[in-house]
Structure 1
């Protein structure tokens, strides 16, 4: 005779209560260590405190939710799901684990449904889940929710490498450096610009301008790219807003990130560096024009101190004939022109 399934209660908390999942997280880390075909050393060296620091960074950069399944009779947490939502509105199931005694009873399914409902309610534009090497048996479970493999990230096995910063748990496939843009980057800038136009919420432009036109319209001193190795994955630049001397310290910013790298902190890094570069060049005010529907961009700019100062009513028309409003955002430097 089969024993009745234990009764569980579902609860939700934020990063402040993350410590409660420590015992279960240690089990999932051991699960991955045993099944890892190549990167066993990674799971052997990674601690819950590392992961906790990473979760804290996710919460600071966007939002983070922890769903728990608790057994009131046993007075303990028996399963959890940690979900993040980036400033760019990219949702990700960061970690999911169910105690062995509570599996095949719908607990994991209930947790994922709660997580996805939260992401939907908060306007996620894309949802992801990363599956560790050796844990491909979880694929059928995630397919129930519409998750399918889209790309495979290959990581080099290195005998020695500099340690990652505390909490840096992302794949090196999204680690990038910020550098000054050159004319040789134009092909990548052009490619990323096209992807931005395709979203319908990035710009009124229907076509990418020529390099000559783009170059003439942007400041030479404030143009940056984010590079993952030799590949450019995002760019940011500033353009003057007026030729009048009184407004010489005012510029308008543009920022674009390639489709497959959105939601991974690239835009955040680019905008932060662009602000720093503008202040080194003596700019005291940065402006941005953003469609009201582009919530990810609005959240990113707000994180860096931009405030909405007005709404331009239908100043431009899309290629399909639609007139669109534009929100005007502004950031006043605390270092320059005080």
Structure 2
């Protein structure tokens, strides 16, 4: 097992997550084929801009590094209204089941709590039942399901 070290920062670390974010997008495309094209074609710069455009009051980017190579990350944000969000989390397949994800998430939750988050939410791609169960271990439960209309499937 490779030694893992963690590195914390803010927006300046977002570019470091790009390769892992692309792997996450591919994972989402596999889990939810309805939106595979969207997941695969969305450029990272668009995703990065979406995070920054929320104008969070505070932003945490925590990297998990093996030999100085990012193998996992968590992005957490505290909104101007005090709402906390786990914006994105991913661990490279070769480094899963080593407690890295749990460490990343627990750190992010502690970070949000220390900043007075009024609640914490996380979005999960439909069909990602493993993620739902995993987040459930940390006290998360489904609250709302948002549907997106697929134009190619709409009845005339």
Once residues 23 and 37 of structure 2 are traced to their aligned partners in structure 1, the CA distance between those partners, rounded to angstroms, is 16
Aligned to 1:132: 125
Structure 1: state its 5+ residue gaps. 160-338
- Post-superposition Cα deviations, 1:221-254, rounded to whole Å, max 9, x if no partner, equal xxxxxxxxxxxxxxxxxxxxxxxxxxxxxxxxxx
Aligned to 1:34: 30
Tell me if the contact between 2:74 and 2:87 (Cα under 8 Å) persists in the aligned partners: yes
Once residues 17 and 155 of structure 1 are traced to their aligned partners in structure 2, the CA distance between those partners, rounded to angstroms, is 31
Rg bigger for which structure?
1
Structure 1 counterpart of 2:103, from 103, 106, 110: 110
SS in structure 1 of the partner of residue 103 of structure 2:
helix
Once residues 151 and 57 of structure 2 are traced to their aligned partners in structure 1, the CA distance between those partners, rounded to angstroms, is 32
- Post-superposition Cα deviations, 1:138-197, rounded to whole Å, max 9, x if no partner, equal 1111011100111211111124xxxxxxxxxxxxxxxxxxxxxxxxxxxxxxxxxxxxxx
Aligned to 1:82: 75
Larger helix proportion of the pair: 2
Aligned to 1:65: 60
Structure 2: state its 5+ residue gaps. none
Once residues 156 and 20 of structure 1 are traced to their aligned partners in structure 2, the CA distance between those partners, rounded to angstroms, is 33
Quote the offset at 1:45 in angstroms.
2.4
Give me the TM-score of the superposition, normalised by structure 2.
Answer: 0.92
Tell me if the contact between 1:37 and 1:133 (Cα under 8 Å) persists in the aligned partners: no
Structure 2 counterpart of 1:18, from 10, 14, 18: 14
Give me the TM-score of the superposition, normalised by structure 1.
Answer: 0.44
Tell me if the contact between 2:56 and 2:77 (Cα under 8 Å) persists in the aligned partners: no
RMSD: 1.2
Once residues 27 and 61 of structure 1 are traced to their aligned partners in structure 2, the CA distance between those partners, rounded to angstroms, is 25
Structure 2 counterpart of 1:8, from 4, 8, 13: 4
Corresponding position: 1:150 with 2:111: no
Aligned to 1:332: none
Matches within 5 A, 1:1-338: 5-58=1-54, 60-72=55-67, 75-159=68-152
Once residues 29 and 97 of structure 2 are traced to their aligned partners in structure 1, the CA distance between those partners, rounded to angstroms, is 23
Quote the offset at 1:61 in angstroms.
4.0
Tell me if the contact between 1:71 and 1:78 (Cα under 8 Å) persists in the aligned partners: yes
Once residues 136 and 47 of structure 1 are traced to their aligned partners in structure 2, the CA distance between those partners, rounded to angstroms, is 26
**Comparing both chains, which one has the higher relative contact order based on Cα–Cα distances under 8 Å and sequence gaps of 6 or more?**
2
Tell me if the contact between 1:15 and 1:55 (Cα under 8 Å) persists in the aligned partners: no
